[in-house]
Structure 1
Amino acid sequence: MVPEEAWYRAGEVEVGQRQFLVMDPDGYLLRLAEDIGERPAICRPAPVAGQQPVFERLTHADWSVSTAKRWSASARRQDDRWLVEAPEPVGNVAAFVDAAFADAAIQRVLLGFDFPIGVPIAYGAQTEFRSFREMLSALSGEAWSRFSEVARLPTEIGLTRPFYPLMSTKGVSRTELVAGLGVASFDDLLRVCERCTEHRQAACSLFWTLGGNQVGKGALTGWSEVIRPALLRGSKLWPFDGTLEELAHTPGVVLAETYPAEAYRMARAAFLPGQSKRRQADRRGKAEAVMARALRIPRQAGRGFRFDVGHHSEMKPARIPI
């Protein structure tokens, strides 16, 4: 990448830096930057009636229990365009979160993850916590010390140990989880956003940890490694702390859960029968639809934004797992 000069709004001034990306011998991208001072903020056009405020940096992390499978992609707003960067490994999670807060010192950051953030209503009502935030805080207490331990036997399932089963064994069934958590049906262990719609099947319950589409173990690592530490540093949590429109007015980091299956559909890039998001060729085949959708957004939103696909076209396809 050729060195570039970038300016970011910070209150009444703009903070500048000269930056560029280099690739190390292992194929990882490194961003090097130098501060170049401040300047009076450039006045932007008055908001169009009905136009929502926007974040200046968007980062999405494709999460996994395995640290080697965690990847992130970012886009940053620069004047009238969005610069979309190539995916890169999340790497050290603490450093990843630190980088988001460093960016948030000069711009509004939306940080998304594809693991569940929240619990089913039927379960939450039993805990008597007033909010998911309150529940997260309580998990560090003695009464909830075994919350993240996946139950091995049905008799171990309970309010403070809701994840099951630890492994696949003969006779293991969802009815044991339903009975152990005292709900009427397995559907009661789905959050509203996980229920079946006309466009997709129901997702897997947060608490059921068996099968290829289980998400519970990923959520546990995400809550402990990202969500709880970030909340302690003052981040906001969507939707619990407000709507995206409200939170876009808030300086700092906003954390949000993302729904890849919904994003595929909205971008007209949904995977058809016989296709799989786990096959790179199938994922790459959706790139044209995604780009076409991105190019339509400016006309539909009336904001005049342009989308530039990041500065890494020289990278080999194998280095960019779309």
Structure 2
Amino acid sequence: MHVIAVDWGKDARKRSAYLSQLASRTIARLPFDGSLAHLMEQASSLDGPVLIGIDAAIGFPAASWQSLHDHCPCPPRTFADFLLGLSLPANFFEPVSTPEEWLPQRPFIRPPTGRWSLQAFVDASRQGLYRRVDKQLQAKPLFVTCGLPGSVGSGTRALWQELIGLAGLGEFRLWPFQGTLATLLTEDVPVIAEIYPKACYGLALAESLPAPLLSIAKTKEHARQAALVQLRNNPWLVRQRMTINDFDAAVDNEDHFDALLSAAALTRILLEEAPIESPEAMDGIAEGGMLGAASLTARV
């Protein structure tokens, strides 16, 4: 069993991945060129099941899904069918700049320069910019590409476009739209799922599971250093005889930091046989799920 955790973003040069090999009990950086295609090449070369957690939205807000579904010429059963099938509108990825333009069929937003209102877009979407998990984790709206500190829409769009590009290059599965992890990991093809660093921080660093959500000022080196010292000294690493390499890279760089903490979190859940998925925390039709949510004290 292998776990790859990816810190994702619009700029491929800033993406980072760490590979956890459960059999050898090691976690280390996974060199790749930043593209999803190269990452999948690396994953496909590994023996046994491969779980890939990516820090980007994989799912569509339920409040907007029905309208999107109903306007498709070939209505998809799930979000994965929509994204990877024949239903995608030609201008789906072209951002809109005004609330009046917003549609589920054209959901990405590039706000106008100067003053603008996020609430106006939320109202125009009829509360359809957020998934349940986005609200519970107080995450940024997944479609806004710029104009907000920490906006995630450009990374979301890049991932979805690269997933479409992968569709003809090799097999993979999208969790939870194509099955439960218990089923998908028996199929010997890489499984791609969504992760969230704020959840992974707690899962990696807590004394025991289930864990609380945890915020870390990851842009500050001293905060990264303190968190990594806490990880290195955590009893679960000793208990599971884990070796973690490339600590220094994670101290120096926040992208590597997120990837390492996420890899450690998923590794811990799997080795300690804690819940990694639960029916109440995932939606296999539209919104998707968050790996590890089932092992948080505040369920998402």
Offset from partner CA, 1:212-251 (integer Å, 9 cap, x none): 22211101101112x2344442211111122222323221
The residue identity in structure 2 corresponding to 1:97 is M
Q: Does 1:178 align with 2:125?
A: no
Match of 1:86 among 17, 29, 32: 29
For the Cα contact (< 8 Å) 1:72–1:88, is it kept in 2? yes
The residue identity in structure 2 corresponding to 1:75 is S
Match of 1:282 among 204, 218, 223: 223
Q: Does 1:207 align with 2:143?
A: yes
Structure ranking higher on relative contact order (CA contacts 8 Å, 6+ apart): 2
Tell me: CA distance 1:92–1:178, structure 2 relative to 1, closer, same or farther (3 Å): closer
Offset from partner CA, 1:152-202 (integer Å, 9 cap, x none): 2333222221122344422x1123313433x1x3xx432122122xxxx51
Consecutive unaligned residues in structure 2, runs of 5 or more = 70-75, 207-212, 258-300
Between the two proteins, the alignment pairs up a number of residues equal to: 242
Tell me: CA distance 1:192–1:316, structure 2 relative to 1, closer, same or farther (3 Å): closer
Q: Which residue does the alignment assign to 2:132?
A: 192
Partners of 1:213 and 1:313 in 2: CA distance: 25
| Offset of residue 318 of structure 1 | 4.1
| Offset of residue 139 of structure 1 | 6.8
Q: Which residue does the alignment assign to 1:244?
A: 181
Larger radius of gyration: 1
Q: Which residue does the alignment assign to 1:67?
A: 12
Instruction: Specify the SS of the correspondent of 1:211.
Output: coil
For the Cα contact (< 8 Å) 2:2–2:22, is it kept in 1? yes
Partners of 1:314 and 1:62 in 2: CA distance: 17
Tell me: CA distance 1:165–1:130, structure 2 relative to 1, closer, same or farther (3 Å): same
Tell me: CA distance 1:278–1:173, structure 2 relative to 1, closer, same or farther (3 Å): same
Offset from partner CA, 1:95-145 (integer Å, 9 cap, x none): 222121222xx211111110000011011111124211121035775xx11
Match of 2:83 among 130, 136, 156: 136
The residue identity in structure 1 corresponding to 2:220 is R
| Offset of residue 59 of structure 1 | 0.8
Partners of 2:233 and 2:194 in 1: CA distance: 24
Consecutive unaligned residues in structure 1, runs of 5 or more = 1-55, 300-304
Partners of 2:249 and 2:157 in 1: CA distance: 34
Alignment of 1:96-111 (within 5 A): 96-103=39-46, 106-111=47-52
Q: Looking at secondary structure, tell me which structure has more strand per residue.
A: 1
* Identity %, equivalent residues: 25
For the Cα contact (< 8 Å) 1:271–1:277, is it kept in 2? no
Alignment of 1:201-280 (within 5 A): 201-209=137-145, 210-225=147-162, 227-232=163-168, 233-268=170-205, 276-280=217-221
Q: Normalization by structure 2: what TM-score?
A: 0.71
Aligned residues: CA RMSD: 2.8
Q: Which residue does the alignment assign to 1:308?
A: 243
Alignment of 1:145-156 (within 5 A): 145-156=90-101
